[in-house]
Chains A and B, each alone.
Chain A
Amino acid sequence: SYELTQPPSVSVSPGQTARITCSGDALPKQYAYWYQQKPGQAPVLVIYKDSERPSGIPERFSGSSSGTTVTLTISGVQAEDEADYYCQSADSSGTYRTVFGTGTKVTVL
C-alpha cells in the first residue's frame, strides 16, 4: 500500500526555521496537503496543493515540492507552532484513496 514518510520529530528554537519533509513515490503526480494538529483539537489545513496557503494561515508557513519529497517550512517559529504536522496526498495508482503521512511532532525549545 502507498505510504508517506515523515520524520517523527523536529526540534527548533523560537525564531528559527523548521523544515518538515514528506516522501512518497506518487508525490510528483499528486498534490500534497499539510495539516497542523494541536493536542485535543481537530486538524487545521495550513498548506494545500503543495504550496498554497489558506486564508488566515500566517505567512511563516510555506510549502514546496521537489520530486518525491514535499517540504513544509515554518519560518520564524513561534511557541504556538508546537504541534503535530501531517502531510496528505492521494494514491495515484487508480484506487482513489487518500493517504496521510506518519506525522511529525514539532517541539519549540
Chain B
Amino acid sequence: EVQLVESGGGLVKPGGSLRLSCAASGFTFSSYSMNWVRQAPGKGLEWVSSISSSSSYIYYADSVKGRFTISRDNAKNSLYLQMNSLRAEDTAVYYCARVLSDGMDVWGQGTTVTVSS
C-alpha cells in the first residue's frame, strides 16, 4: 500500500524550531518529487515547499523562505522539513504529498504544528 506518514508536530514557542518527518512506503520514493503543504485552522491549503527526486531542485513559498529547509534521505525513504524562527502564523496541519506531474496524488494524514507562547 502506498503510504505517507508525517510526524514531529507539536507545540512550540514563537522563535522556536521544529523538524517534521514524512516516512514513505509502498512505492519507489527516490523516483518522485515531494511537497509539503499546510493548512491553518479553518483556512485553505497553502503550498510550502518542493524537492525533486534527487534534491537537485528545491523551491519555497515566500512565506517560509529563509526560515524553512526541505530535505530528503532516499536511503531512508524519508522527507523532512526543518522549521526555524517559527511564528504564530505557521500554526497549521502540515501534510507531505507525492508529486504527480505538477499535482499531488498521495497525501499523508498530516501533523499539527502549534506556535504559541
User: Which residues of A are interface residues toward B (Cβ below 8 A)?
Assistant: 1, 30-31, 33, 35, 37, 42-45, 48-49, 54, 84, 86, 88-90, 95-103
Binding site secondary structure of chain A: strand
Chain B residues near A44 (CB-CB < 8 A): 107
**Cross-interface CB contact of A54 among B44, B61, B62, B105, cutoff 8 Å:** B105
CB atoms of A96 and B107 under 8 A apart: no
Chain A residues near B109 (CB-CB < 8 A): 42
Q: Which residue of A lies closest to B50 (CB)?
A: A98
Binding site secondary structure of chain B: strand
Give complex CA distance A14, B37 in Å.
32
CB atoms of B95 and A42 under 8 A apart: yes
Q: Which residue of A lies closest to B35 (CB)?
A: A98
CB atoms of A43 and B95 under 8 A apart: yes
- Closest chain-A Cβ to B4's Cβ sits at a distance in Å of 9
CB atoms of A48 and B61 under 8 A apart: no
Give complex CA distance A102, B43 in Å.
9
Chain B residues near A100 (CB-CB < 8 A): 37, 44-47
Question: In chain B, residues 27-82, which have Cβ atoms closer than 8 Å to a Cβ of chain A?
Answer: 35, 37, 44-47, 50, 57, 59, 61-62
Contact (A45, B100) CB under 8 Å given A35-B45, A96-B50, A100-B46: yes
6 new A-B contacts, CB < 8 A, other than A30-B102, A44-B107, are A42-B109, A88-B103, A88-B104, A95-B59, A96-B57, A100-B44
**Cross-interface CB contact of A97 among B47, B95, B105, B110, cutoff 8 Å:** B47
Contact (A31, B101) CB under 8 Å given A42-B109, A44-B107, A102-B44: yes
Give complex CA distance A98, B100 in Å.
12
